[in-house]
Structure 1
Amino acid sequence: MPLNYYKEELKKTAESLAKSGKGILAVDESTKTIGKRLASINLENTETNRKAYRGMLFTTQGLGQYISGAILFEETLFQTHSDGELMVKKLEKLGIIPGIKVDKGLKPLAGGGDIETFCSGLDGLVERSSDYYAQGARFAKWRAVLQITNNGCPSKLSIKENAWGLARYARSVQESGLVPIIEPEILMDGSHGINKTAAIQEEVIKEVYMACKTNGVYLEGTLLKPSMTIEGAECPEKSNPKTIAEQTIRTMERSVPAAVPGIVFLSGGLSEEAASVYLNLMNKIKRKATWNIGFSYGRALQHSCLKAWDGKNITAGQNALLARAQANSEASKGCYLEGSQPSSDEALFVAGYKY
């Protein structure tokens, strides 16, 4: 269908996802990556165990009070719960909008630096997205990854290629009725300072929206999922939380169009507590645009939850998930009291993170 057919629905869905006090649960780990998570609690990577874990998440009563949407892996979108009901129906009962990861993963970028990649999956995307829409998905996610190094990465080629891929994806899924989450992630790897991150991130996001304009992407029916503006993990000079919040908001104000209804930050290897604290501080800053500042966290919502669940303790797992969901809900309104919810301050950074 043409984009105009879906415009009203896209705008409504994007606004629902970006509702104040709510955020997105990213549970779209690939089969290989969820296997690593399960291995951390000594569980085998089987469909039964994957189903049990995700089923635990999607039957957490009250989760919809804090979570507006959940990004699923393709397996989960078409999967049934152990009781025979579709996983997407479990989410809908909680008032949570189902979403879907549509990219096909990172590939080496020919002509780019040794570590540079592009995100694959554009072939057949409109048709696949139509199938996902029919299954109940109403938004999509596509992750482009850029890395800052001392030898010139990200290159101009990498920035342009990844921006163009994000824009092509966004336009493609909108033509099938899905709201695109546009995710140009700047990895935490590296020894660079926060000012360099800010400069590179501003350049990247501006390039993304120039490509979106060329492709006719309907911005009111999109969300942006960036990383926070923070120094490299190996940088000896660590910024305080207030500086990180200020730099992040300044970078967004310099590069994100006001037409975008919401910015949902990724946690990108931050600890559960740090992800909440930084988000809370961002929401205390007066800003020029009215976009909602929320969250789309994976590890920062699931880390303690997975450990508490441990393959069998459903109530403990759900309580841990609710605690972090409530913490980030409060943070997205600027009223989170540090340490008021159970959390882990364990750093979740993984070098060259892929999933």
Structure 2
Amino acid sequence: MPGVTSPLATLLTPERCLLLLDPVVAAAGPALGAGLSRWVSGVVVPPAALAGFPGDGPLPGVRMDTGTAALPLGRGATVSEGLDGLSRRLDALAEHGARFAYWRAVLDAERYSGAAVHANTHALARFAGACQEADLPALLDLRVGTTTHGIAVHEALVTNALEKLDAELTRAGVAPANLILVTGLVRHGTPAEVAERTVRALGAAPRTAGIALAVDAAGRTNLRAVAERAARYLDSSATLTFCVDDPGLAEQALA
């Protein structure tokens, strides 16, 4: 994989996935990481868990957003926060062993608006730029929550969100070679419909070194169809992998 850093290449190792742990589970840190290497390439852990993380386990990374706040005049929409002091925090965590950084933004499909999309994609782009300056791979997690309006509406919202993220990254001048996009499956359809619409929506995604599809227990039955279709139609410059939030799903996602 020419032009990418060693940690990024490790994160995109074939037949492994990324693991976004609940903070309580992740507090196990070193003990947990040692047993995950077969299925997991990178684990997002709290900063305190970086100390003593096993060198022969998955790469440890840290979540840098600090949660969400209400978006002013957003009618219930939220924006992920944590940009204050971000560069300083990235440098400090890299010194303590972080090998990549992660930022999550979730858009409420029922409160979807141009303002909410702009606020969250702009924050993601600023985060990506700070990671580039810190020489840390950046995981950009942008998801659209489920909707009651069906699969066509969900596909349209996911496509729009990815288009806006692409525009913000381009505007910020962020290089794609150090980025992994994390996003969810398009929802509310058969496995074949989910696969077709997810891959179609990913056609609007920004150029990145890799795409990690976030998978939960409900979505894992769609994985093979999505992976097979993605392998045929996605830009071959981006490596496709998966992202789970439960260690038990790691093996299932790759089986």
Provide the residue aligned with 2:81 in structure 1: 120
- What is the Cα deviation at residue 325 of structure 1? 2.7
| Aligned equivalents of 1:194, 1:72: Cα separation in 2 | 33
Matched AA of 2:212: V
Instruction: Using the TM superposition, give the Cα deviation of residue 54 of structure 1 relative to its aligned residue in structure 2, in angstroms.
Output: 4.1
Report if the CA contact (8 A) 2:185-2:219 is conserved: no
Q: How does 1:1-355 map to 2 (within 5 A)?
A: 11-27=5-21, 29-30=22-23, 34=24, 51=27, 53-60=28-35, 63-78=36-51, 86=52, 88=53, 90=54, 92-94=55-57, 96-114=58-76, 116-149=77-110, 153-188=111-146, 190-231=147-188, 239-253=189-203, 255-257=204-206, 259-267=207-215, 270-271=216-217, 274-285=218-229, 286-290=232-236, 291-298=238-245, 301-302=246-247, 321=248, 324-330=249-255
Whether contact under 8 Å (2:182, 2:213) holds in the other structure is: yes
Give 1:281 shift: 1.4
Q: Secondary structure at the match of 1:213?
A: helix
What's the CA shift string for 1:146-195, capped at 9, x where partnerless? Answer: 0111xxx211110111110000011012211211111111112x312011
Name the CA distance, whole Å, in 1 between partners of 2:133 and 2:240. Answer: 26
Q: Are the counterparts in 2 of residues 126 and 176 from structure 1 also a CA contact under 8 Å?
A: yes
User: What is the rounded CA distance, in whole Å, between the counterparts of 1:76 and 1:26 in structure 2?
Assistant: 13
Unaligned runs of 5+ in 1: 1-7, 38-49, 79-85, 232-238, 303-320, 331-355
SS state at 1:175 partner: helix
Q: Distance in 2 between matches of 1:93 and 1:16?
A: 12
Q: CA deviation at 1:113?
A: 1.6
Distance between the aligned counterparts of 1:293 and 1:228, measured in 2?
Answer: 13
Contact 2:29 2:50 in 1 (8 A): no
For residues 111-169 of structure 1, give each alpha carbon's deviation from its aligned partner in whole angstroms, at most 9, with x where no partner exists: 2122x1111110110010001111111211111110111xxx21111011111000001
CA offsets, 1:1-57, max 9 Å, x none?
A: xxxxxxx6x543323212221111111x34xxx3xx7xxxxxxxxxxxx74x44442
Q: For structure 2, which runs of at least 5 residues remain unmatched after alignment?
A: none
- Contact 1:197–1:229 at 8 Å: present in 2 too? yes
Identity across the alignment (%)? 23
Q: Which has the higher strand share?
A: 2
**Distance (whole Å) between structure 2 residues aligned to residue 75 and residue 108 of structure 1:** 28
**What residue identity is the alignment partner of 1:193?**
G
Larger Rg: 1
Scaled by the length of structure 1, what TM-score is found? 0.66
Please tell me the residue identity of whatever aligns with 1:223. I
- CA displacement, residues 281-309 of structure 1 (integer Å, 9 cap, x when unaligned): 111112141122211110xx33xxxxxxx
Report deviation, 1:209.
1.1
Shift, 1:75, TM fit: 2.6
Aligned residues: 251
Return the offset for 1:59. 2.5
Letter in 2 for 1:325: A
Structure 2 residue aligned with 1:41:
none
TM-score by length of 2: 0.91
